[in-house]
Amino acid sequence: MALYAIVKRGKNTGIEVEPNLYLDGKYHIVKKKDDTPILAEENELLSYVRRGYGIRMGNKHMNHPPGLFMPHSIFTR
């Protein structure tokens, strides 16, 4: 199951973003913006979103850097 979000503000409004895989091979999730990121595997992401965590998401093809997207903005395919 793939997770995605749509950018709603700024110069990249309307583009689709997906969870950003960092160089450590993990995805960064947080409960609040200023929290220290929790490192998660891809198969754990949906569980964290359902519990209210946000995910750093971006789009490398459109040069959109990772930003924090909260559960109400994250969708599944």
Nearest in space to 69 (alpha carbons), one of 21, 22, 17:
17
pLDDT given for residue 1 in this prediction: 63
pLDDT given for residue 71 in this prediction: 97
pLDDT given for residue 18 in this prediction: 97
List the domain boundaries for the chain.
Answer: 3-76
The tens place of each residue's pLDDT in the chain, 77 residues long, gives 699 999 999 999 999 999 999 999 999 999 998 999 999 999 999 999 999 999 999 999 999 999 999 999 999 99
The residues near 70 (Cβ < 8 Å, ≥ 6 apart) are 54
Structure tokens at 41: 């595997």
Note the pTM of the prediction, 2 decimals: 0.91
